[in-house]
Structures are given as C-alpha cells and as structure tokens.
Structure 1
Amino acid sequence: MARAPYQVLIIPYIRKEDHKIMFALFRRSQEGYWQGIAGGGEEGESIIETAKREAFEEAGIQQDQKYIQLDSCSGLSVVSVVGEFMWGCDKYIIPEHCFGVEVDNQDLLISSEHKEYKWVCYEEAIEMLKWDSNKTAIWELNQRLLRENLK
C-alpha cells in the first residue's frame, strides 16, 4: 500500500488502583529520543484504523482497546517525516492526528523501531518527551482523564 499524507501519534495509558494515571513512552532505536507511538497512514485506511494498526505493530496493543481521539493535531514537515517530497513539490506539511489508548496491563511488546519503553507519570513524561506535539497531546490526554475522574 502507498503511504498516505498524514501521521498518527498514540499515547498508551493505564489507570492504577489508586486512580493514578501512567503513560507509556517509547525510546526510538536509532535517534534515541522518547515519544509516543508514531507512524504513517496507508492509502484507503481511516485515521483511527491507522492508529490501531500502528499501536498493534509497535506495542502489541489490541485493536479493541478504548481509544480517545484528541483535539491535538500538529503540522509536520514532509521532509522530517519521510525524508523527501513524497507527495509532490507542493505538499510541505502533513497533519499528525493524536490519540490516547487505555490498556489493560503494563506489559507491552516492543518493535524494532524502539529499544525500550517506560511507564511514567505526567510530570516525568513532559520532561522526557522531545517533540512539542507530543507534549501538547499528553497534556490534553492527561487533562481529559483527570476531568473524567472528577465526574
């Protein structure tokens, strides 16, 4: 399948018995920085289908888990994502759509794209994340989950 001109970012989370929320961050194998699960869409695939496929491929997260589509959506340069003007000379920026996914346990698989993952609280996640888009997405996800706990 051909690569579609968008990216997804997925942040796995788990609710602990004490109502504390923990987030899974992944360290990239080559670059060494921390981020959520990120990947590109394939033509004919919906954005949520892409998110579910990427989460399964990179962390073994089953597709029937609870996904939250976030309002966070960033623009990423085509060259920084795919290394070239893959979709023509006039396509400079592609959107990055963000999701949270609730998982049942902390045991995730790890693909060759990452060398490790770590469960952290929100404050530690903000310190570890490289990309501002990841920081914005995890802030939104954390706020949504905290407000949900208040209901």
Structure 2
Amino acid sequence: MKPYKQPVSVLVVIHTPDLQVLMLERAAHPGYWQSVTGSREGDEALIDTARREVAEETGITGGSLTDWQRTNTYEIFPEWRHRYAPGVTQNTEHVYSLEVATALTAHIAPDEHRAWCWLPWQDAAARCFSESNRVAILALAAGRPSER
C-alpha cells in the first residue's frame, strides 16, 4: 500500500525576468491550469520538495529558486482526500518562485499534465484555477512576493 500524502506542499511559480509564467494544464482536469505544485515526501526540506517537483513536472533543473516565506492553508478537494490519512481535510502550501533566463521547453509528465505554455503574467493569473496561485502571480508581478 502506498503511504498517505503529507498535507504539506509547495507551489512554485516559474517565470522569466520579463514575467512570462509557465502554466501547466492538469491531465485529470482539462481546463485547470496551474503552476508547479506537489507534496513533501518523507522529511525532505521544503526547498528540496520545490526543486524535485519542478524537475519532475517540467524537466527544468536550473534557475534561481526563492522561498517567499509565505504559506497558504486550503481545503483539500474531496476527490483527492483519499490520498491523505483519514480525517485530513486541509493542506499547508509553501510558496516559491523560480526565475529562469528564458522561456524553456517543459517536459511534462503525461500522467500529471496534458499541456503547458508560457503566458504574460496577466494572462497566467487569469488562467489559474487556484486562488492562491493567482495571488502568487499577482504578487510576483507587483514585486511583492512576501506580501499577501
């Protein structure tokens, strides 16, 4: 039996210096676009979770990763709660950004994502299905990643 997921995750907004933002479309939910997200495994440091998830979901291994020292707590969608221990209904998300020099080709995992694209920050924020992801992109564009 696969162990339960931890209700601790990362959100990583990948962007270029001119604020093109990489967006990923969820495989299980066409039309649901987001940045890189994923749960911590074992006792890994959260920055290592961010690096691992970026590499797994996009193939990107370089760039400048920044820990925003910001968290969001949200309700786990009922359809995904079976992945967590019984009674777990909330997740704590830690926010990061990854600046890359230029829009890179993403090598997505087809079981997780069905498409990817780079968008200007305004379009990326508008396309997000996740409110915390949208807020993070808007904060990045405003030059205030540590503010809500």
Q: Where on the TM-score scale, by shorter chain, does this alignment land: which range?
A: 0.7 to 0.9
Q: For 2:20, what is the secondary structure of its paired residue?
A: strand
Kept after mapping to 2: 8 A contact 1:85/1:92: no
Aligned-pair identity (%): 24
Deviations 1:58-99 (A, max 9, x none): 00111x52111124421122454842383343x432201111
Q: Residues 1-151 of structure 1 correspond to what in structure 2 (within 5 A)?
A: 2=3, 3-15=5-17, 20-32=18-30, 33-62=32-61, 64-78=62-76, 80=78, 82-84=80-82, 86-89=84-87, 91-106=88-103, 107-112=105-110, 113-144=112-143
Distance 1:145 1:116 in 2: 29
Distance 1:145 1:14 in 2: 16
Could you list the runs of 5+ residues in structure 1 that have no partner in the other structure? 147-151
Q: For 1:98, what is the secondary structure of its paired residue?
A: strand
CA RMSD of aligned residues (A): 2.3
Distance 2:65 2:78 in 1: 27
Could you list the runs of 5+ residues in structure 2 that have no partner in the other structure? none
- Specify whether residues 81 and 66 from structure 1 end up closer, same or farther in structure 2 by C-alpha distance, changes over 3 A only: farther
Range 26-35 or range 78-87, more displaced: 78-87
Q: Highest Rg: 1 or 2?
A: 1
Structure number with the higher helix fraction is: 1
Give 1:104 deviation, angstroms. 3.2
Distance 2:79 2:57 in 1: 17
- Specify whether residues 61 and 128 from structure 1 end up closer, same or farther in structure 2 by C-alpha distance, changes over 3 A only: same
